Each structure stands twice: as structure tokens, then as C-alpha cells.
């Protein structure tokens, strides 16, 4: 059991049989009375998000999360298949659990899969990935003093805003935390 004062963004816990991960955390101490902890949580099994308020001193069941190095193989509809390189065991993860990380997954890419017993809960991506540009809008030269930009599509189907000098066939680095262009490789 852990105290709700120890909850922070990214902490996973169990409450009423549901696996929940903290998305936002606010500790509020009014002038009188006990502190109130307001959290926004995501149910890891259903993907539903909701707000949950705790009183200071409440306790929740902590959950042991195991991190396994795996390789992304392919996707079939909404299911994404990963393989453990040591045991060659394959697991399927629903796209709801992967959230926006599906925009950066390339075949053969190494990721860390978060597991609770044998249940996958999500993945940890590298902070930046290198993706090949497969389609680029035609950019019109002109007012570049304001940092003109255009949209391109990378090999995963994700659209990114980039500077005008990025062309089709280039490889770019994208920050997986923000989804923004970092540099041309």
C-alpha cells in the first residue's frame, strides 16, 4: 500500500480492481482541514480517463511494473505485435494502450514494454526516433524571415510540421514526447 501523497505523474496503482495510471497530480492544502489530492487518471485496461480526488492519509494498492526489452514486429488492425528477443515470445498490445506512440513505431524497433504479471500496460519509447520522409508538400519560397514551415508525412503515416528545406527521401528526427521535428539527419 502507498500513501496518496506519494502519487506523482506516471505512477501506476490499483483501486477497486482497476489498474490506474496518474496523468495529472495536484496537491491542494486549504486553510483548514486535511489536504486534498486531485488526480486525473487513466484506466490501463479500458483507456478511460477520469478525475479522482483523495483525502490526505488515504492509501492505494501499489502495482509492480516489470520493464521488458522487446522488438516491435508489425501491426494487424488495432493490435500491435512485439517480440521478446530472449524468449521469442510474442505479445499483442491494443492501440488504445499505446496512445500516440503508434505514430513513431517502425518495424524492428526496440522498445521497453511495461508489464504487470503477464499483462502488457504500455510501452516506453526512446526520446527521439529517426523517420524517413515519404511525402512532402510543395513549399513556396518567400517570407522565410518568420520561419516558414510545411507539413510532411513520414514512413509511419504521421504528419509533422518541418522547415521548408526538408524534402521527400530525407530522414528526420522526431521527439516522441512532443511529436515535433528536431533535426534533419
Domains of the chain by start residue, with CATH? 2-62 (2.30.30.30), 66-124 (2.40.50.140), 128-184 (2.40.50.140)
Nearest to 1 by CA among 49, 54, 64: 64
First CA to last CA distance, the chain: 47
pLDDT at 147 exceeding the cut of 80: no
DSSP β-bridge partners for residue 151: 161
Q: How confident is the model at residue 146 (pLDDT cuts 50, 70, 90)?
A: low
pLDDT at res. 8: 87
Share of the chain above pLDDT 90, in %: 41
Q: Residues 98-134, buried b or exposed e (16+ Cβ, 10 A)? A: beebbbbbeeeeebebbbeeeebbbbebeeebbbebe
pLDDT at 143 exceeding the cut of 60: no
Task: For residue 93, count CB atoms less than 10 angstroms from its CB and return exposed for 0-12, middle for 13-18, buried for 19 or more.
Answer: buried
- Model pLDDT for residues 89-132, shown as the tens digit of each residue: 999 998 888 888 899 999 999 999 988 888 888 888 899 999 99
Calculate mean pLDDT across residues 18-24. 89
Calculate mean pLDDT across residues 7-32. 87
pTM across the whole model: 0.74
Amino acid at each position: 500500500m502507498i500513501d496518496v501523497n506519494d502519487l506523482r505523474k506516471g505512477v501506476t496503482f490499483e483501486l477497486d480492481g482497476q489498474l490506474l495510471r496518474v496523468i495529472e497530480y495536484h496537491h491542494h492544502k486549504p486553510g483548514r482541514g486535511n489536504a486534498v489530492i486531485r488526480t486525473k487518471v487513466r484506466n490501463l485496461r479500458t483507456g478511460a480517463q477520469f478525475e479522482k480526488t483523495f483525502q490526505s492519509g488515504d492509501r492505494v494498492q501499489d502495482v509492480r511494473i516489470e520493464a521488458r526489452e522487446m522488438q516491435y514486429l508489425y501491426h494487424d488492425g488495432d493490435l500491435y505485435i512485439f517480440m521478446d528477443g530472449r524468449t521469442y515470445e510474442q505479445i499483442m498490445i491494443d492501440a488504445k494502450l499505446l496512445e500516440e506512440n503508434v505514430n513513431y513505431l517502425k518495424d524492428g524497433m526496440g522498445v521497453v514494454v511495461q508489464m504487470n504479471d503477464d499483462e502488457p500496460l504500455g510501452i516506453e519509447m526512446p526520446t527521439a526516433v529517426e523517420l524517413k520522409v515519404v511525402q512532402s508538400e510543395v513549399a513556396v519560397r518567400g517570407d522565410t524571415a518568420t520561419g516558414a514551415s510545411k507539413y510532411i508525412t513520414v514512413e509511419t503515416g504521421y504528419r509533422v510540421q518541418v522547415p521548408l528545406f526538408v524534402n521527400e527521401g530525407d530522414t528526420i528526427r522526431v521527439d516522441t514526447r512532443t511529436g515535433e521535428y528536431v533535426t534533419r539527419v
